[in-house]
């Protein structure tokens, strides 16, 4: 269908070699010849065949990313759409495209990674939402393929790769201390699934906050959720059924916090005055929730952009000033955390 170098060569009377060299700006072709070739190329609507280029081992100008699929519950993608937008915008400025595969974690997911990496379709990969003993990281390291990660490994695991993460241990400590300062003594916690790498960090931060406020850690104030709104709803129900005297609940992401608010309101209680709620992420919906959600801000969009810059530096063989970045979290106080208790 499309015109090839050969077509241009025939039409212009030069060889394929010369056409190729003219088009890619070598200086051993006459300027007049080059102009002629370029005009023929344009008249034929020539566009280079990328697979052919890649076959020669040239850059694919493409960044790969595998994102978790989860059908209906697209709003769970809030985090990923922000990350994706950051990655996409930064990539575009570097004339890179994105190859995206949405996959449910598991065998198919690893196959998607293999297709991209060994299949030679991308120059580098962006990973997100690290898990414990993450097989994706092991694979990419073993392949020696350039990659960067949003989120470091779980505590105790090696972190021998480039990443950007927010210190969520500090985040949860700050949140917990803040609630204690408001006067709360019984604070529930809804954690992410156990296999997520940052779960332990947040769990630890919560414990640190309690210790700092002189409160004892109560294992049954803590439940696990699924990072979705529904998980927050169920988690809050469970906590309030067993411990109706809780005066505050921290959910480990904003989506679960929104679910928590629904559960509280469904019981005829007021979010804030009756039960304080706090989340983590500061997704756009947090600001517009009712009441607006107190949360820990993560600059997800910026992280996406910086990941691209790191990745391309690695791909180009430049060395990175910083290859492991830990950002400090920021507390954003809104109405959901309620007034100071008296």
Nearer to its own copies, 176 or 305 (CB): 305
Q: Contact letters (x/-) for DNA, 41-80, by CB under 7 A? A: -----x-xx--xx-xxxx----------------------
Q: Kindly state the smallest distance separating residue 116's Cβ from DNA, in Å.
A: 15
| Binding-site partner at residue 284 among DNA, its own copies, none, CB < 5 to 8 Å by type | its own copies
Which residue in 206, 239, 248, 245 sits closest to 337, CA to CA? 248
| Binding-site partner at residue 30 among its own copies, DNA, none, CB < 5 to 8 Å by type | DNA
Q: Using CA atoms, how far apart are residues 124 and 120, in angstroms rounded to an integer?
A: 10
Under 8 Å between Cβ of 337 and 276: yes
62, 214, 247, 248 from 341: Cα distances, Å: 53, 17, 10, 11
**Site for DNA contains 331 (CB under 7 A):** no
CA 89: distance to chain centroid?
14
Query: Can you give the binding site for its own copies, defined by CB under 8 A?
Result: 1-2, 45-55, 60, 62, 67, 69, 71-72, 74-75, 77-78, 80-82, 84-86, 88-89, 91-92, 97-103, 112, 114-115, 117-121, 143-144, 258, 284-285, 288-292, 301
| Binding-site partner at residue 18 among DNA, its own copies, none, CB < 5 to 8 Å by type | DNA
**Site for DNA contains 17 (CB under 7 A):** yes
Which residue in 21, 67, 76 sits closest to 227, CA to CA? 76
- Cβ density class 45-63: b for 16+ within 10 Å, e for less: ebeeeeeeebeeeeebebb
Cis check for the bond before 291: say yes or no (omega within 30 of 0): yes
Q: Kindly state the smallest distance separating residue 218's Cβ from its own copies, in Å.
A: 31
Nearer to DNA, 10 or 302 (CB): 10
**Site for DNA contains 111 (CB under 7 A):** no
Q: List contacts with DNA (CB under 7 A).
A: 4-6, 13-18, 20-21, 23-24, 28-31, 33, 46, 48-49, 52-53, 55-58
């Amino acid at each position: 269908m499309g015109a090839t170098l050969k077509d241009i060569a025939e039409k212009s009377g030069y060889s394929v070699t010369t056409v190729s060299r003219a088009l890619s700006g070598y200086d051993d072709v006459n300027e007049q010849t080059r102009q002629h070739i370029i005009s023929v190329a344009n008249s034929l609507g020539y566009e280079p065949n990328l697979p052919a280029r890649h076959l020669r081992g040239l850059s694919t100008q493409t960044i790969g990313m595998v994102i978790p699929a989860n059908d209906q519950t697209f709003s769970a993608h809030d985090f990923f759409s922000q990350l994706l937008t950051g990655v996409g915008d930064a990539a575009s400025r570097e004339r890179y495209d994105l190859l995206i595969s949405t996959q449910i974690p598991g065998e198919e997911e690893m196959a998607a990674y293999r297709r991209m990496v060994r299949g030679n379709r991308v120059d580098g990969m962006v990973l997100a939402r690290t898990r414990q003993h993450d097989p994706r990281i092991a694979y990419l390291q073993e392949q020696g393929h350039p990659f960067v990660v949003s989120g470091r490994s779980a505590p105790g695991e090696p972190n021998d790769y480039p990443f950007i993460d927010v210190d969520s241990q500090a985040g949860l400590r700050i949140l917990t201390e803040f609630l204690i300062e408001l006067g709360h003594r019984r604070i529930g916690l809804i954690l992410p699934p156990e296999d997520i790498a940052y779960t332990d960090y947040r769990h630890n931060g919560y414990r640190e906050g309690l210790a700092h406020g002189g409160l004892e850690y109560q294992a049954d104030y803590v439940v696990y959720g699924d990072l979705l709104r529904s998980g927050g709803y169920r988690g809050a129900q469970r906590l309030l059924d067993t411990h109706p005297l809780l005066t505050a609940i921290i959910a480990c992401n904003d989506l679960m916090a929104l679910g928590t608010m629904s559960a509280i309101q469904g019981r005829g209680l007021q979010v804030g005055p009756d039960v304080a709620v706090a989340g983590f992420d500061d997704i756009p919906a947090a600001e517009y929730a009712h009441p607006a959600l107190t949360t820990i801000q993560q600059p997800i969009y910026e992280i996406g952009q910086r990941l691209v810059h790191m990745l391309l530096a690695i791909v180009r063989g430049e060395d990175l000033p910083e290859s492991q970045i830990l950002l400090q979290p920021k507390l954003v106080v809104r109405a959901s955390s309620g007034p100071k208790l008296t």
